[in-house]
Structure 1
Amino acid sequence: MPFCPLCGYEYKEGVTSCADCGQGLVSELPQPPRISEEPLAVVYEAPDQPHSHMVKAALEEAGLPVIEQLERTAMLDDLDLSVVGRYSRLLTVESRAEEAKRITADLLVAYESGDLILPEEEADKERPKEATVKPHRGKTVLILGILGLALFPLVIGIAPALIAFCMGANDLKEMEKGTMDASGWRPTSIGQVCATLGGILGGIWAFVAFVLLCESLSAFL
């Protein structure tokens, strides 16, 4: 199974890049660096996950042992609920702390100048924008369809039946295209059927009423 070397997520065979960060997948996760008993020093405080992963990857590529100390306590809909206001702290052995800070500083300068793009940002640019899905109007179509069916003996029943039929036909087409919430398919379909029955019965009733009216008028003439 392939893994994301940054996020650590496992994917199914055939997937080549991470859905979260866009990083290419590897067959095995890299082994965590062995930290000696030498004292550790903080070399970078990351404001978010992309910065933390970017700096950590650069330091590890330079051969420095790195520990990522997460400090974000909880996430909810991308809201930072941590008290400290940062995502993580990166630590390395004290003897190489200055080297790590120099690498980090150069990396951040390159990022700020636009010479370096985070994998997440590159993936966002290449990822097509999702089409907007409209909310369905299933309940409205259903209510109008039922009214059209219930009121078919009256002339006013034709109006809600016609509206429900037109709305239902249009909404079902949009659901097939994926531009409208498909969870409203059932009430929309039922509403359209009720509207169709109401329209047919209303038309028959209107025809019969018209014939009876004509016969009544001819009897008086």
Structure 2
Amino acid sequence: MKYCARCGSEYEDSVQDCADCPGNPLLVSAEEMRSRGLPLPHELDQRVFVRAATAEDPFTAEAFVEVLQEANIPVLVRAGRSGVVDKLTTGNILPWWEILVPEDKAPLAIPLLEQERVQELATTDEAVQAAEEEERENEQPPAPPPAL
């Protein structure tokens, strides 16, 4: 049997791609699943997941998930709030998204996510600076005062 390393679905040996996951990831053997620290569907998952990072928007959460998946680190994303009123009505002050990884993978995941956050902030700063420069270039000089 083969297994999807992303969702854990089990497939016949003749199948090449997971039908359930976006991008149709390749399927791997049971040995490969175990080497990646992923449980097989019929095994009880006893991993403890811990917070590796937080994200204030779904785009950042998605970027974090991609970084972790590329490093073969299992990841769960949990929404901390479901709406803008939550903080007012329930006192919930959790971030929008929690990025959770297995406890034993946290020492690998946390630096990767911190590096991704730094790169994202640098990219954002560059974009802001470029927009400000473009705005300055497009500003029209004030019209000269009318001649008397």
Q: TM-score, normalised by structure 2?
A: 0.49
Larger relative contact order (C-alpha < 8 A, sep ≥ 6)?
A: 2
- Which one has a larger percent strand, Structure 1 or Structure 2? 2
TM-score by length of 1: 0.34
Structure with the greater alpha carbon radius of gyration: 1
